[in-house]
Amino acid sequence: MKRIYLPYYKILMLLIACFGVRTASAQNKLEYTISLNIKQIKIATLLTEIGKRGGFFFSYGSDMVPADSLVTVNVSNKPIRLLLDQLFNNDVAYKEAPGYIILRPAPNRLKLMPDAADDAETAFNISGYVVDDETGAPVRYASVYENRLLVSTLTDDRGYFKLKLKSVGAITLTVSKEMYKDTSVSFLSKVTVVLKNTNFGYAADTGASQLNRSWLGRLLISSKLRQQSANIGQFITNVPVQTSFIPGWGNHGLMSGQIVNKFSLNILSGYSAGVDGLELAGLYNLNKNDVRYVQVAGLFSVVGGNFKGVQLAGLDNKVYKDVKGVQVAGLFNRVDNAAGVQLAGIANINKNVSSGAQVAGILNVARKMRGVHVGVINIADTLDGVAVNLISFSRSGYHQLSVFTDDNMITTLGYKTGTAAFYTRLTAGVNLVEAARYYTYGFSFGHDFEFKKNLMLSAEFNTQFLLSDKWNDTHQLNRFSALLNVPVAKKLSVFLGPSFTLYDQGQNNTIAEQQAVVKNNKLALTGIGSSFKCWIGWSVGINLF
């Protein structure tokens, strides 16, 4: 998307910058001459061939171009612009972007009819109507703007508009509307009007489209601002400072959605094309395109493009594309791809790749996880990093059901998730021996040292909570184990190894209950304190993959 930087030069330089540069750019690829003699070729194939010869690609919607329709082309040294006019019967507008020519439907023409244009020494008061050039019908909600002064308005239901512009010398009003080609009218100091049809083109604005059409955008962005964005989405400029109270109520008015700010102060909330510096909001920030460096909001921030830097929000950060840097949110961080650090009170949700560190109070989600991910639950299609959690769901990770016995419990069930780098295991067991009747539940984490395929040594720490058969007492066992895993079948392995157990007897259980646990372990060692016992034990079991 082309950006037009706000100039501060004299009128002559403004005219050269606004019109001369744009004309030179527009005569780049669209004015490239081409010769073709092809019979019965699909339009999509023809556009690809033209793009190859010109060194660019065409971008267009599948519902706009009849890609499978057959055409015959015989031209010699003809500009691409004229070939496209012939091919699409003048019903398509064009916009150049780096490496692309973007096509959009524009079957209609606008006509601007000023009914008053009074120029004072430093101001123009202009009003008039915008109508359909063919039918004469009024065109409502068309954008009328001066792209140098950043002043704009929308036509009403009658197609009427009124603008007051502070300027010395010539000004140019541009009228834009979806499905129409742009029209410009130049006003000189003597109010001489020159009417011309100009195709300023179109720049695909995916982020703006998604933001404006989302339920949040429809709720928080006024219909006038959304219509303005649809009409003149191709016009983006940069200014140093913006202040606003709510979207549309600020020093840039209806043009706020077309401006990238260096510093943006939104008392309650704001809406802009993007930020290239610092943005602060009491409640929320809404940005159509990219944001860089620092963004802070009391409630949430929404970025339609990419984000780079530090993003802080009391509740939620939503980025439609990629994030590089740090995100901190009280509830959620939601992005496409993330590289850096994400901290969220509830969840980090990435559509594609998460690289770096994710820390969430409950949930981390990504298609591919790289780095370190800390949460209660981690969900990923591919897990390349380390997931520190209670449960990890990953297609490429562990999903093992364990059944084992040890020196404390006759039967224990476990569910192992994660990867060899870091795994977790939820456990529950029962011991029904009369001398020591109790139940357990617990949690393990560990690392697998892989020697060869499926032959591993697991270093594991496990903590278990013991409930006596009276269900009124809880005690704790902590175990350090070294477990050798040996495969015996395609989806079956056996593990066994020694363990060291530290038992917290607590202060409430009876002497008989304390002795019951220790009596069950013949290798009990001398206690290390009045409420602790420790011993060397063993574990043996199977893993079902």
**Tokens 């901290």 — which residue?**
343
SS3 (DSSP) at 44? helix
pLDDT number for residue 11: 38
Distance CA 83, CA 103 (A): 13
pLDDT digit string, tens, across residues 73-85: 888 888 888 888 8
The pLDDT of residue 532 is above 70: yes
Distance CA 101, CA 29 (A): 8
Confidence band of 65 (pLDDT split at 50, 70, 90)? confident
Tell me the average pLDDT of the chain.
Answer: 80
Strand blocks (E) in 375-511: 377-383, 386-388, 391-394, 398-406, 411-418, 423-433, 436-452, 455-468, 474-489, 492-504
**Of 460, 423, 424, 464, nearest to 442 (Cα)?**
464
The pLDDT of residue 98 is above 90: no
| Higher per-residue pLDDT: 64 or 205 | 64
Q: How many whole angstroms from its chain centre is CA 347? A: 14
Average pLDDT in the 272-282 region?
93
Distance CA 200, CA 137 (A): 23
Residue 323 contacts residue 292 (beta carbons within 8 Å)? no
CA angle (162 as vertex; 156, 166 as ends), nearest 5: 150
**What kind and span of H or E run contains 14?**
helix 11-15
Highest mean pLDDT among 162-171, 431-440, 475-484: 475-484
pLDDT digit string, tens, across residues 224-248: 888 888 787 767 788 888 899 998 8
Confidence band of 395 (pLDDT split at 50, 70, 90)? confident
Distance CA 281, CA 298 (A): 6
Q: Which letter, b or e, does each residue of 20-53 get, where b requires 16 or more Cβ atoms within 10 Å of its Cβ?
A: eebeeebeebbebebebeeeebebbebbeebbee
Determine which of 327-336, 416-425, 426-435 has the lowest per-residue pLDDT on average: 426-435
The pLDDT of residue 527 is above 50: no
pLDDT number for residue 22: 36
**What kind and span of H or E run contains 46?**
helix 43-54
Distance CA 30, CA 80 (A): 5
* Predicted TM-score (pTM) of this structure: 0.62
**Of 369, 545, 111, 159, nearest to 348 (Cα)?**
369
Residue 499 contacts residue 481 (beta carbons within 8 Å)? yes
Confidence band of 287 (pLDDT split at 50, 70, 90)? very high
**Of 4, 289, 256, 271, nearest to 148 (Cα)?**
4
Distance CA 328, CA 344 (A): 6
